[in-house]
Structure 1
Amino acid sequence: MIASLNRRQFLSTAAAGLAASALPYRAHAATSPLTMQAAWINDAEFAGYFLGLDRGYFTDAGLDLEYLSGGPDVIPESTIIAGRADLALTTPDTTIKAITEQGAPFKIIGAQYQKNPIGIVSLAKNPINEPKDLIGKTLAVPPVNVISVEAMLKMNGIDPSQVNIVPYAYDPTPLVKGEIDASLDFTTNVPFTIKQAGEDATSFLLYDFGYTIYNDTVVVTEQVLAEKRDLLVAWLAASRKAWAENLADPSVWPPKFAETHFAGTGRSIENELYFNAAQKPLMESAEGYFALTGDGIEKCLSALGEVGIVGSADMFDTSLLAEI
C-alpha cells in the first residue's frame, strides 16, 4: 500500500538519517551508483522497479541502483535531505508544503500516479457512487485527510456538515460490519481486502471529483539534480521501460516476486495481482509513464490550493522527461 498520508515536520529529523524497513536491493555490475527511496513496504505499487532490477534495465542504463524499502516510520523526503537517497517517491502535498513552509530544496521530476488512488470506498450492496450520495451518511476518514475530503465536498457543492465524518484508521472492518457507510482509503488495495471478508466493494476517486493531485511524485534535491542529472534521466527512462512491461499484462510479474521482493510482507500474491491491475489506469498517460504535463501540474496545484497549500509550476522540472 502507499505510505500513510500524515508525514509532516520531517526536516527536523533529517540530519539523523532514517533506518530502512528492509535490506536494500541492488542491481549488479553497473557503472554509477544511484539510490532511490520508496514510499512504502514492498508491494505491487513498486512492481515496475522490481522488474527493472531483475531484468537488468537499470544496469543497462548505466546505473548501480540501490532500492530502499519504505514503511510506516520512513519519511521519504527526510531520506533525501539526509543524503541517504538520491531520489524519493513522495506525496505532493508533503513535498510542496515543505518547499513553501520550510524552504526545502526539492524539485519534482516525475509522477508515478497521474491520478491519486485515494478514494471513497463503500459496499456494493449500499453503494456510494458520487459525492452527493454521501449526504446524510457516515464517512470514516483518517484525521489528517479530513481537510482534503471537505475540499472535495465543497468542490461538488456539498456542505461538509451534511456528511457525518468520523475518524478512520485504515481498517475496513467497520465498513464490512455496516457500522459506517463509506471510508476514505486506497482504491487499489482495500476493495480486495473487503472481498476477502465476504463483501463486494465499490469506489470512486477523489481525483475524479475535483481533488486532482498526483501521487508517488519523484522528488530530488536541487543539488542532486545539478550533480546527477544524467543519472536521473537514465533512471526515468529505465523505470518507464520497466513499468510499461509490468503493466502490459499485470498478471505476469507479481507471482515472480513471491519469494524475493514480496517475501515476508504478509500479503498474498492474489492481493498484489489485484493491486497491479487496479493501478494501471491511474498510472497511464498519453505522454508516457511518469508524465508531468502542463495541465496535470496545473490541476495538482489547483487542488492543493483548495487545502491551503500554495505551490507554483517552478517546483516541477519537466525537462528531464523531455530528454527521454
Structure 2
Amino acid sequence: MKNIITGLVAGALALSTASGALAADALTLQLKWVTQAQFAGYLVAEAKGFYDEEDLDVTILAGGPNIAPEQVIAGGGADIIVTWMAAGMAARESGVPLVNIAQPYKRSGLMMICPTETGITSEADFPGHTLGVWFFGNEYPFFAWMNKLGLATDGSEGGVTVLQQSFDVQPMIQGQADCISVMTYNEYGQALDAGYGPDNLTIFNYTEMGNDLLEDGLYVMEDTLDDPAKVDAYTRFVRASMKGWAYALDNPEEAAEIVVEADDTGAAEYDHQFYMVNEVTKLVDPDDAALDMATYERTVQALLDQGIITQTPEGAYTTVVTDGL
C-alpha cells in the first residue's frame, strides 16, 4: 500500500510539473537588427530569468540587413517585433496591420555627421552634397527631414544626392559621402574610434533639431489583441522586458557581457557593447513603457507630410498593454 501511495504522489508531482511547464506562454520576438546592446533589455530579461518569472517562454530572433521584422511577423514568424514607427506605419498602410503596444525608446539615437573639411556647417550647406542614408525602413526620418527643408533628394540642382550607405562609417572615411547617418549608440562610436569627434565633425542630432521620429517600439498584429490571453501574455512580456532594461542600465558591464554571450555570430565585442549600453541609457526610460502622444503625433505628421503614409492611421497603437503594467 505504501508503494502505491508513493507512486500516486510521484505521479501527481510529475503531472503538476508538466502542467507548470505547459503553462508557460511561448512568444517569439524579432529584433530589428543583429544581436547588440540596442536590444539589451530583452537579452538581459531572458538571461536573468525575468521572462521565466512571468511564466513566458521567449525566443529572441536576431535581425540583419536582409531581415525585415514587418515581413517576419506578417508571415507568422514572430509574435512581437522591434521596429521604428515609420516602418511600422508604412507597413500598416500597405496591409500589415501592426499595432504599437509599448515604446521603451523615448528619444531618437539618429544623427547625421559631416567632416568639417566638407565645408558643411549648417543645413543651408547641404545642396550639392552627397548624404549617406540607410534604407530598409531606416530612411524615412531622413526623407521627412529633407522634405521639411524643401530639398530634393534626386541629385537635381539645388538638392542633394542620396547614397544608400552601408551600416558603418566607411562611406565617410572613404569619401563616398560628405555626410553619413549614424546612431549615437553604434556608428558614432565607430567614428570616435576612427579619430573623429565634435572637434572635426558637424553633428546634426535629430532629437535636438526636433526631427526625431519614434524608433525602437514593440509591435504586434492587430487581430491578436482580440484574444485576452494574448494581451495578458504581451503585458507580462513588456513588464519583464522593462525589468530587463532597468537591470541593464543599472549594470552596464554585466549587460554588455550578456549581449556578447547571446551573439551566436561572435561579432559582438565587449568594449563596443559596453559603449552602446551607456549610450542607450540616454534614450530608454526603463520606468515608462507607454507611448508619448506628442512624439507619436509629430511622427505621424512627418510621415504624412513626406507622403510615406497617405492618411492618418486609425488603431495604430493601443494602451491596453501598458495600462495593465
TM range (shorter): 0.7 to 0.9
Task: Say which SS state the counterpart of residue 275 (structure 1) adopts.
Answer: helix
Distance 1:221 1:272, change over 3 A: same
Opposite residue 113 of structure 2, the aligned amino acid is V
Distance 1:316 1:130, change over 3 A: farther
Task: Say which SS state the counterpart of residue 122 (structure 1) adopts.
Answer: strand
2-side partners of 1:129 and 1:316: how far apart? 38
Q: How many residues align?
A: 293
**Greater shift in the superposed pair: 194-203 or 77-86:** 194-203
Q: 2:231 aligns with which of 229, 232, 237?
A: 229
Q: 2:102 aligns with which of 94, 98, 110?
A: 110
Structure 1 stretches of 5 or more lacking a match?
A: 1-27
* Aligned match of 2:42: 49
* Aligned match of 1:278: 279
Opposite residue 300 of structure 1, the aligned amino acid is T
User: What pairs up with 1:29-48 in 2 under 5 angstroms?
Assistant: 31-48=24-41
* Aligned match of 2:304: 305
Task: Say which SS state the counterpart of residue 217 (structure 2) adopts.
Answer: strand
1-side partners of 2:219 and 2:238: how far apart? 12
* Aligned match of 2:209: 209
- 1:263 is displaced (CA, Å) by 4.6
Are the counterparts in 2 of residues 155 and 210 from structure 1 also a CA contact under 8 Å?
no
Distance 1:97 1:178, change over 3 A: closer
Superposed CA offset, 1:122-153 (max 9, x none):
33777866534535644233467666434314
- 1:156 is displaced (CA, Å) by 4.7
- 1:241 is displaced (CA, Å) by 1.1
With the length of structure 1 as denominator, give the TM-score of the two structures: 0.78
Superposed CA offset, 1:138-183 (max 9, x none):
4233467666434314435767654542413224224224554311
Task: Say which SS state the counterpart of residue 296 (structure 1) adopts.
Answer: helix
**Greater shift in the superposed pair: 205-214 or 300-309:** 205-214
Distance 1:252 1:173, change over 3 A: same
- 1:239 is displaced (CA, Å) by 0.7
* Aligned match of 2:197: 200
Establish whether residue 98 from structure 1 lines up as the match of residue 91 from structure 2: yes
Are the counterparts in 1 of residues 86 and 214 from structure 2 also a CA contact under 8 Å?
no
Opposite residue 116 of structure 1, the aligned amino acid is S
**Greater shift in the superposed pair: 77-86 or 203-212:** 203-212
Task: Say which SS state the counterpart of residue 315 (structure 2) adopts.
Answer: helix
2-side partners of 1:134 and 1:192: how far apart? 24
Are the counterparts in 2 of residues 121 and 187 from structure 1 also a CA contact under 8 Å?
no
Distance 1:182 1:94, change over 3 A: same
Distance 1:250 1:137, change over 3 A: farther
* Aligned match of 2:184: 187
Superposed CA offset, 1:302-324 (max 9, x none):
12112211332521102210111
2-side partners of 1:105 and 1:179: how far apart? 38
1-side partners of 2:193 and 2:319: how far apart? 41
Distance 1:129 1:206, change over 3 A: farther
Distance 1:100 1:45, change over 3 A: same
Aligned residues: percent identity? 25
* Aligned match of 1:70: 63
* Aligned match of 1:316: 317
Opposite residue 270 of structure 2, the aligned amino acid is I
Task: Say which SS state the counterpart of residue 314 (structure 1) adopts.
Answer: coil
Q: 2:163 aligns with which of 164, 167, 180?
A: 167
Distance 1:129 1:118, change over 3 A: farther
1-side partners of 2:317 and 2:77: how far apart? 22
- 1:233 is displaced (CA, Å) by 0.5
Task: Say which SS state the counterpart of residue 185 (structure 1) adopts.
Answer: strand
Task: Say which SS state the counterpart of residue 281 (structure 2) adopts.
Answer: helix
Distance 1:51 1:151, change over 3 A: closer
With the length of structure 2 as denominator, give the TM-score of the two structures: 0.78
1-side partners of 2:39 and 2:140: how far apart? 28
For the pair shown, the structure with the greater C-alpha radius of gyration is 2
* Aligned match of 2:51: 58
Opposite residue 106 of structure 2, the aligned amino acid is Q
**Greater RCO, 1 or 2 (C-alpha within 8 Å, sep 6+):** 2
C-alpha RMSD of matched pairs (Å): 2.9
- 1:77 is displaced (CA, Å) by 1.9
- 1:85 is displaced (CA, Å) by 1.6
